[in-house]
Structure 1
Amino acid sequence: MPKAAWKVKMILVREMKVLRSFVIILLILLLCGCGEHQLERTKVVATTSLIGSIVRAIGAERVELAVIVPSGMCPGHFDVKPSDVIKLSGAELILYHGWERWIGKLISSSKARAVMMDVKGNWMAPDVHIKAAGKIADALCNVDPKGCKLFKGNLKRYKDEIKSALGEMEEKLSRLKGAKVICSKMQEGFLRWAGLKIVATYGRPEELTTREMVRLVKLAREKKVKLFVDNLQSGPKAGLRMAEEVKAKHVTLTNFPLGETRDSYIISLRENVEKLVEALGCGR
């Protein structure tokens, strides 16, 4: 092959390689662009991890979720920060319980549709949680009708997962039946669901006067209370001194799902039950 022809051939080969690389990059960009266009995500702001855990499980990939209150904090005594207001940027839906004193500030600062999830009872109790999940699925369908089929399918799967977890916990829950406890008012609904007998309840640590503690200690001795249960978000050690006084066990349960996975509620539910079983065991 003549030298000039060989040079031309090499130039053409290099140009073809560059062109091929360009085409590949262009295709990748086009595919990524199409994927983003097809995935119509709705930004949803949830005030608590109770709402957020359900939105995450039901909304899945069609929802961009922002949760305002960290799961370890008490939403009733939460102070809204500028960074929380920023979370509302681009939101189409705000879901809240109705007892958040600060929610009005957020709603007034956003153009998003705000929907109150007025579901009574303790949301950590599975029957209440499932009812709330149904309402949240409806709210998602209203704001994103195209995703409704997905939401309803995920709702069914979520309910089935909760029922399956309950089946696995059935034997452990049976050990708790009738055990006498004194607990934080915030944990009363969950403990009643779990089958424990509530002898008395108390409020937040700042509400526990010396006189009230003396009364509860006396009652615990009279009724042979085996366990004091505190609420993580409102005072994890509020009942500890009273438990020590009567030589009862003490545990702290969470009233909100911890973590940011789609099964965070089920994980926290299991952990709550495990703590109760471990504290009471077979010796009650």
Structure 2
Amino acid sequence: MTISAHSRIRVTAVSIIAAAFIPALLSGCGDKEKEKSDAKFAAANSYIFSALSHITGNPEATVNLVPPGMCPGHFDISPSQVKELFNCRLLFLFDFQGNIEDSVQRISQRGLKLKKLKAPGGMCLPKTYENIISQLCRHLAEDSPETADMYELREKQITEKIKQFSENTLKNFREAGLAGRKVICSEHQKAFCEWLGLEVIASFSGRDTVTPTQINECLKAAEGKQIDFVIANRQEGTKLAEAIAKRIQARPKVFSNFPGPGEGEKSCQTYFELVERNISSLMNDGQ
């Protein structure tokens, strides 16, 4: 075999190897570009996370930043979460979560878009969930105009489900004999309690902002009345509600405004499960 023939064999071999590997390399680059274009969403709390999952039908496409048991208005993003956000295109947060907005300024300069949602009072109210769904669908349609019709349809479908759920929930609550029960509750649960048909005698703020005067007003309002429940807001803690309940000989209960695991309770992943779990805490021993 001559040297020139040997060289030709080597060149041919290299060509064959290159022909085999170049398409794979190009495909790999394509996959990376696809990963960048198939943007994930990020939610600044479990309420928005569950609403986005309800709309898209794909929970895996959304990163949830704030655990359900924590107050979404007092939460700092961890370094690992910052890393996750680099793979996201849209971050949805409530207008009261300014702390998170400040934390992601550097990422937003690299393409992450922040979409602030107005959070009406009473997170468990059906009209509030409907409002959040509407805001999300509008933002998603603006971000992806080619699928705007799909988001419009999803909003209509979910709105109808909310309406049916609302009617059935109130009907079942009345039939359970709970409507009209007297309660003292967290201010963050007052609107929901009133929607259910409970009689709110007094309300209190979180333990970090509550004053002795406010506590005394709750105790005074309870005088001469049979208070059935003192309802805490899970995200604010339960100790204050438990202390008031003990003083007035009422039963302490805990409502949450955000889907997720509960203490000693089954987890709830959707708005509907959240409302049902809140109500079931009263129905279990409310008779």
Between 81-90 and 56-65, report the one with greater CA deviation: 56-65
**Shift, 1:249, TM fit:** 1.6
**Runs of 5+ unmatched residues, structure 1:** 1-29
Kindly provide the amino acid, as one letter, of the partner of residue 197 in structure 2.
G
* Superposed CA offset, 1:87-143 (max 9, x none): 211221111111113123244122222121114222211111111101101111111
Residue in structure 1 matching 2:198, options 196, 199, 211: 196
Query: What's 1:152 paired with?
Result: 152
Query: What's 1:124 paired with?
Result: 124
Query: What's 1:180 paired with?
Result: 182
Between 243-252 and 207-216, report the one with greater CA deviation: 207-216
Query: What's 1:277 paired with?
Result: 283
Q: Does 1:53 align with 2:55?
A: no
Aligned to 1:50, the other structure's residue is in SS state helix
Report matched runs for 1:1-284 at 5 Å.
Answer: 41-61=38-58, 64-110=61-107, 111-174=111-174, 175-208=177-210, 212-258=214-260, 264-281=270-287
**Shift, 1:242, TM fit:** 1.6
**Normalization by structure 2: what TM-score?**
0.76
Count of aligned positions: 247
Aligned in 2, Cα 1:120/1:166: closer, same or farther, shift over 3 Å?
Answer: closer
Kindly provide the amino acid, as one letter, of the partner of residue 139 in structure 1.
H
Aligned in 2, Cα 1:240/1:263: closer, same or farther, shift over 3 Å?
Answer: closer
* Superposed CA offset, 1:249-281 (max 9, x none): 21101111226x996111111111222333433
Kindly provide the amino acid, as one letter, of the partner of residue 268 in structure 1.
L
Percent identity of paired positions between Structure 1 and Structure 2: 24
Over aligned residues, Cα RMSD in angstroms? 2.8
**Runs of 5+ unmatched residues, structure 2:** 1-26, 262-266
Q: Does the 8 Å contact 1:250/1:279 carry over to 2?
A: no
Aligned to 2:280, the other structure's residue is in SS state helix
* Superposed CA offset, 1:129-177 (max 9, x none): 1111011011111112233233233323322333333343233322333
